[in-house]
Structure 1
Amino acid sequence: MDRLDVFKIIAQQAAKGELTFPANVNATLKLQQALDDPDSHIETAAHMVMAEPLLSARVVALANSSAYNRSGNEIANVRAAVSRLGFATLKSIVASVIVRQLGSQITDPQLRAKAAKLWEHTAHVAALSQVIAKKVTHVDAETAMFAAIVHEVGGFYLLSRAEEYPGLLDSNTEDWLEYGEKLIGRGVLRQLEVPDQVLQAVEGLWHGGAPFPPRTLGATLVLANDLAPVASPLHPPEVAERRRAAALIDFGIGGSTLHTILEESAEEIESLAAALLV
């Protein structure tokens, strides 16, 4: 069976909702559903977060990042961290745990390395998306960060299944971009019940291009992806090179420029990315 046939099989399963998630992902999905309950309270959310050690560490780390800790007062407990971050950001962190858990069962060293690199790419795109949304495109920053966290979830799902098909990801291939990324990614995003505006933004990234000057959620995601210092390991090298070239473009924003804003926000971006990589 060739690579494209495998992508088609997994994509068909994803489109039908026939997805195989590790047990720890299913547990975190229940937490995600609980947070969507309008009657959820801070105390309830804090207790649920504390039941997940990895999630607890990430929530506290993000709350202490420069993006959320404007006062400089460090937080050392989950309840205070949840209160500072709010539910919108907490949902993004839960999504980040789900994405990373997809790769947690991988035993093959090469696939594990790809999963680690893909998360590094994702963390940088998420940090850039949050800052670009606040300071450049002026869309909702928490939604932008959430969209960035889930934009490669199809790739993580593929990595979680790749051990079933030896040699599937031995080399970079355009097949993933042309077939697998869109269909597998869409199926997984729908299974995770991401909002339509997030799904549309991610699909815009898959299809390439964005309105200029950037003013939408989709354009925010495209720009952050182009600017990310770490490329997706599932994309051929020439794709990463084209995106790096596109990221050299500068443009004016009010009385400043994109590059100036990013330079001034470098500490905030680095702090956000580091918190996500915990």
Structure 2
Amino acid sequence: MTEAIPNPKSSKLAKNRLYLDCYKYMQSEKLALPTIPDVSVKIRRAINEPKANSSRIARVVQIDPSITARLIKISNSPLYRGRRKIESCPEAITRLGLKAAQDIITVFALKAVFNAKTGIIRRKMQELWSHSSHVAAISAVLAHKTPGFDPDRAMLAGLIHDIGIVPILGYADRQPDILASPTDLAETVKELRSEIGVQIIRRWDFPTDFEDVVNHAENWYRDSGPQATYADIVMISQLHSFIGKVDIKKMPKMDELPAYKKLAAGNLDADLSINILDQVKDEIEHVRAMLS
């Protein structure tokens, strides 16, 4: 017996085949979720070994020359830069630390998830990657300026905040005739991105607080308590990423948001201004370029 789909919230959704199909497969746990890239799995396994060290981890990382090069490059970036230039993979991992290296390698590897065969969906995936990597770069720099947060973890949080959209695009890629109009995709994303995103976070065994990142990336007036969280970092980063792209009149004022107030009150430097991210735009673009 097939599971009945609840009454759609509007007559529009009742006519949206993409929504109805994705919802049905999501509920039955048959929606094809992306798998975490193999290199990330290998790194996680290697780091959890009792004798894990930088040299052992480097041997695994160096299987992928592209990730190796970017790991060295980010270890020399303003986020992690030390007194001397890093020139080898083991040195980069030593500077970053094993856990940070794992998060960063996962960030670099995740680009492979944002892929499609058909032209229209491939462009949508590229747009999603561009947006997600921009938010990831801002999150990393904002976390770097905020005591108590790790740039690498914030970067990963920023990158996966919209991960729930990937399976929706993936389904549309396999069923190209199902998209009757761009509105169908927008409606489906709006209704299902969070639920599907949480399924992926759990499948990938990511930190549980990343579920809040997925659920509340655009819940602008949410107040989770007195302490700022990675969800707050990603929310403010995403709002900043919209500058120049979205009608400012449709966006909330940043300094009115609980997330911003928490970051400003006790976690950021005293010279904080609402334009702090404008002041470090070169750092943001540097990180963004590495992700691209």
Alignment of 1:189-208 (within 5 A): 189-205=201-217, 207-208=219-220
> What count of residue pairs does the alignment treat as equivalent?
264
- Shift, 1:260, TM fit: 4.2
Contact 2:194 2:215 survives alignment (8 Å)? yes
Report the equivalent of 2:198. Answer: 186
Report the equivalent of 2:4. Answer: none
Take 2:210 and 2:236, find their aligned partners in 1: how far apart are those partners?
15
- State whether structure 2 residue 104 is matched by structure 1 residue 93: yes
Report the equivalent of 1:11. Answer: 26
Report the equivalent of 2:289. Answer: 274
- State whether structure 2 residue 267 is matched by structure 1 residue 257: no
Give the aligned residue type for 1:191.
R
Contact 1:7 1:179 survives alignment (8 Å)? no
* Alignment deviations for residues 108-149 of structure 1 (CA, whole Å, 9 cap, x no partner): 122222222211211221121122223247434333222112
In structure 2, runs of 5+ residues without a counterpart are 1-15
Out of 109, 134, 139, the position equivalent to 2:144 is 134
CA 141–118 in structure 1, closer or farther in 2 if over 3 Å, else same: same
Out of 134, 145, 151, the position equivalent to 2:155 is 145
User: How large is the Cα RMSD of the aligned pairs?
Assistant: 3.2
State the TM-score, normalizing by the size of structure 1.
Answer: 0.79
Contact 1:42 1:82 survives alignment (8 Å)? yes
Contact 1:154 1:186 survives alignment (8 Å)? yes
Take 2:63 and 2:38, find their aligned partners in 1: how far apart are those partners?
11
Take 1:41 and 1:243, find their aligned partners in 2: how far apart are those partners?
51
Instruction: With a CA cutoff of 8 Å and minimum separation of 6, indicate the structure with the bigger relative contact order.
Output: 1
State the TM-score, normalizing by the size of structure 2.
Answer: 0.76
Take 1:53 and 1:27, find their aligned partners in 2: how far apart are those partners?
15
Give the aligned residue type for 2:281.
A
In structure 1, runs of 5+ residues without a counterpart are 232-236
**Identical positions, percent:** 20
Report the equivalent of 1:234. Answer: none
Contact 1:55 1:97 survives alignment (8 Å)? yes
Report the equivalent of 1:217. Answer: 230
* Alignment deviations for residues 8-58 of structure 1 (CA, whole Å, 9 cap, x no partner): 134235xx3764547xx5523522431551522211211111112332233
Give the aligned residue type for 2:251.
A
Give the aligned residue type for 1:218.
A
